[in-house]
Structure 1
Amino acid sequence: MRQGPSYKLRLLLEQIVNSLRSWLESVACASGNFICGRKQLQLSDKEIENLSIEKFIFHVVHHRNDEPILLDETPIGDFEDFFLKRAMETLRGNRFTFADGSITRTLLKQVMDDGSQFVPVSKTLAQTFHAGRDNRIKPGVMILMTLVTGQRKLLSVLKYDHEEAVTYEITDDAKAILKAIANSFTKSADALQKSALIEIFGGDDADSIVVVDKTVRHEITDFFRGFLACKRLFDDKQMTQAVEALVVEVVKKHQNDLPNDITQNVRDRYYDTVQKRDKFDAAEFFTEFFGAHGSAAVRASFDKGLVKKGMDGEVFKFDKGAVKKQRPQKYKTAEGVKIDVPEQASDTVKTATTAAGTVITITTSRLTSL
């Protein structure tokens, strides 16, 4: 069948639209606005308020025996609020996605598709978790939860270390008898060593994982990475450049409230900060970069920007080679006129080529004669 001109035109338009969409996504990634077609696990205040635990179970792992202790049921009782808070704390972790062929993803997808698979899958995961034994790993429990809020369904995997507790009983003759309880996990924040909050979508590339691994906060241990079979959503270079773009935005927004040594040297100041620090931690970085001038308003803009870029809670290793010292632009005309443009004034100078030559336009709030 011969295709008419309108059909060919429609095909051409579709190709143009698809090319334009790809170009826009690449520009967004390069500019540090991490859109890139990826969904990220973020919950609104309303979704957090309506979040509830649908299913809950734990199994005993890393207790120095060959096999984990697998349980058929572990009613959550009055502790739902406690475990909900632990799951929500994970939201301020590092972003990952499943690697190709992840068995853990396959198992968790079974739970999402068929609720009756929750307990069998949890046992398989516990066996896999337990198999990665290391003398440095403390005995504890691996917890699996499914959580719901509105139409969204999430999964949470937690590793709680056992904490040896000491209790006492007071007898009738006013004596206290101490008792050690080995198989217990406490509400101590330190007892929660590893946590992952997971949302699985239709395609493999769309899945979202947020991880907190207290053993190595800026990354993830090889053990937990192997268990999840995951990879970092953004690499260190992308995140280093994204923070630079954010700092420039924040300084520009609050330029009237910040001193010249910050507003006139944003990129150089960022470069120096990156070279001095190994890791990015939002609170520590903000304090070092803005110092006493980091007001509540500036901090609010900074935190909001991190959320917008999907980086709130991220801790990562700076890529020191991803940032460069900013050098002033220098021009010299054929007539011998020299123009030095510092970094902070780069957007005030425009050049345009005409038939008569190059036109240089400088916009300024005040001109001073030297």
Structure 2
Amino acid sequence: MSFLSDTDLESLRIEQSVFHIVGPGEEYFQLLTAFDAGRHAPFFLGRVKSVNGGNRYEFLQDAPVRKQLARISRDKTTFQEESEKLATAFNGAHGGSTAVGAFLIFVLSCTSGRLFALLKFEDEKVLSYDYEVGGRSGKPKPTFGEIERTFVQNRNALQKAALIRLGKERDEICVVDRQNPQRPAAYFEQFLLARRQRTEEELTKTIIDVTRNVAQKHKAMLPPEAMKNLAQRLYDASQSGGSVDGENAENWLKSIFGPLPDDSPVVKDFKAGLKREGMTGESFVLQKNAIQAPKNRRVETASGIKLTIPVGLTSSVVLVNRDKGEIIIKDQITLDDYELNTSGRSRS
């Protein structure tokens, strides 16, 4: 499911906010004082809401980030001090290829309680423009200015984010990495000192189970050719080495069944199935070892003939031609008999 419910999103408010400048070297690092989001709150809340779905994590034991956030939760006056510790640790974890930007920390409140947002915005150089009266032609003359440090709505500018809710029994963490959606950057995980709640093998198996259940429910609506060898299609997809984009998970479904309208009941139930499994927004790489290779192939005909064929048999032994509706078996026959049903009562 999404990290925040619709009710939470509607009631989301900023209690405290600060950002610090971070980058690949100490020369960029700059600590700043906390600020009141004020009239800019809708902009920042919009960025928080844009990362409402992502990969689910859990803190490892004695994670410093958790301790620092817990201290802020207990005592708001520690916000500036703890935010500086968080920014220092985040900046220290940066590699040489990371971009200069702002590391924002928000304390948020909503209907279900308090949570924290940690956001990394990369600086984007933008060209601003205006105009002034007095050009030679009598028309306004454009003027330009470069701005290097900006917060923009472009989703790609918000590179990394974590939404965190602390609980008495368990914490909730949602992580988004725009550059590496399937496998967030190692330094970001190390900064949080967190690990994914589910392995990619578990996620692969679950999305296949959800897809199979949805297909059986809506088999009358799906292409017959896809349903004839559904298990084979699912297995082949799991072995492809491809990935699932949590923001466009329906693309996985379409790779199995072909084009489907966005308002299709199949797509709707598929998304609902992922939500029930707590997989909304999860991005991951499909794992080949998640699903065992099929041992048998099943073939059924319109007349009720059912065959179970070991996968290893070559076409010289069993040849199935679906286009011609033919099954040719060339093998030694070891049984040719009838089935007797002795469980029922005989008729007089």
Q: TM-score range by the shorter chain?
A: 0.7 to 0.9
Matched, 1:128 2:93: no
State the shift of 1:304 in Å: 0.5
The 3 A distance-change label for structure 1 pair 210 and 360 is farther
| Alpha carbons 1:218, 1:317 under 8 Å: kept | yes
Amino acid at match of 1:268: Q
Whether the 8 Å CA contact 2:2–2:275 is kept in 1: the answer is no
Matched, 1:190 2:156: yes
Percent of aligned pairs with the same amino acid: 27
Alignment of 1:250-289 (within 5 A): 250-281=214-245, 282-289=249-256
1:275-354 aligned within 5 A: 275-281=239-245, 282-292=249-259, 296-326=264-294, 327-328=296-297, 340=307
Query: Are 1:57 and 1:144, in contact at CA under 8 Å, matched by a contact in 2?
Result: yes
Q: CA RMSD in A?
A: 2.7
Aligned to 1:46: 7
Instruction: Give the 3-state SS of the residue equivalent to 1:144 in structure 2.
Output: strand
What's the counterpart of residue 232 of structure 1?
196
Give 1:161's aligned residue.
Answer: 122
Give the C-alpha shift of residue 79 in structure 1. 2.0
Which letter does structure 1 place at the counterpart of 2:21?
V
**Does the aligned pair in 2 maintain the 1:104–1:125 contact within 8 Å?**
yes
Q: How does 1:75-224 map to 2 (within 5 A)?
A: 75-168=36-129, 170-171=131-132, 173-174=134-135, 175-203=141-169, 206-224=170-188
Deviates more, 1:45-54 or 1:171-180: 171-180
Is it true that 1:243 corresponds to 2:204 in the alignment? no
Cα–Cα, structure 1 residues 277 and 67, in superposed 2: closer, same or farther, change >3 Å? Answer: closer
**Deviations 1:156-203 (Å, cap 9, x if unpaired)?**
000001112223454554354433222323222221110111111114
Whether the aligned pair in 1 keeps the contact of 2:14 and 2:108 (CA below 8 Å) is: yes
CA–CA separation in structure 1 for the residues paired with 2:255 and 2:342: 38
Partner Cα separation in structure 1 for residue 152 and residue 292 of structure 2: 47
Q: Quote the Cα distance in structure 1 between the aligned partners of 2:342 and 2:99.
A: 68
Change in Cα spacing, 1:269 to 1:360, as seen in structure 2 (3 Å) is: farther
Q: Which amino acid in the other structure matches residue 54 of structure 2?
A: G
Structure 1: runs of 5+ lacking an equivalent: 1-39, 331-337, 343-357, 362-370
Q: Which moved more, 1:59-68 or 1:208-217?
A: 59-68
Given that residues 14 and 107 in structure 2 are in contact (C-alpha distance below 8 angstroms), is that contact kept between their aligned partners in structure 1?
Answer: yes
Report the more deviating stretch, 111-120 or 176-185.
176-185
The structure in which a higher percent of residues are helix is 1
Which letter does structure 2 place at the counterpart of 1:313? G
Q: Give the letter for the 2:51 counterpart.
A: T
8 Å contact kept, 2:24–2:95: no
Contact 1:280 1:318 in 2 (8 A): yes
Matched residue SS, 1:215 = coil
- Residue 360 to residue 261, structure 1, CA distance change in 2 (3 Å): farther
Q: What displacement does 1:238 show?
A: 0.6
The equivalent residue for 2:18 is 57
Provide the C-alpha distance between the structure 2 equivalents of 1:341 and 1:250, rounded to a whole number of angstroms: 25
Task: Work out the CA distance in 1 between the residues paired with 2:182 and 2:23.
Answer: 24
Any conservation in 2 of the 1:56–1:143 contact (CA below 8 Å)?
A: yes
Preserved contact between residue 159 and residue 194 of structure 1 (Cα < 8 Å): yes
Residues in 2 aligned to 1:90 and 1:360: alpha-carbon distance in whole angstroms: 63
3-state SS of 1:142 partner: strand
- In structure 2, the CA distance between the partners of 1:263 and 1:104, relative to structure 1 (3 Å rule), is same
The answer on whether the counterparts of 1:237 and 1:322 sit within 8 Å (CA) in structure 2 is: yes
Unaligned runs of 5+ in 2: 136-140, 300-304, 310-339, 344-348
Is the 8 Å Cα contact of residues 241 and 288 (structure 2) preserved in structure 1?
no
Q: Which amino acid aligns with 2:276?
A: K
User: Quick one: distance in 2 between partners of 1:182 and 1:63?
Assistant: 17
Give TM-score, length-normalised by structure 2. Answer: 0.78
Deviation at 1:283, TM superposition (A): 2.9
Cα deviation for residue 100 of structure 1 reads 1.7
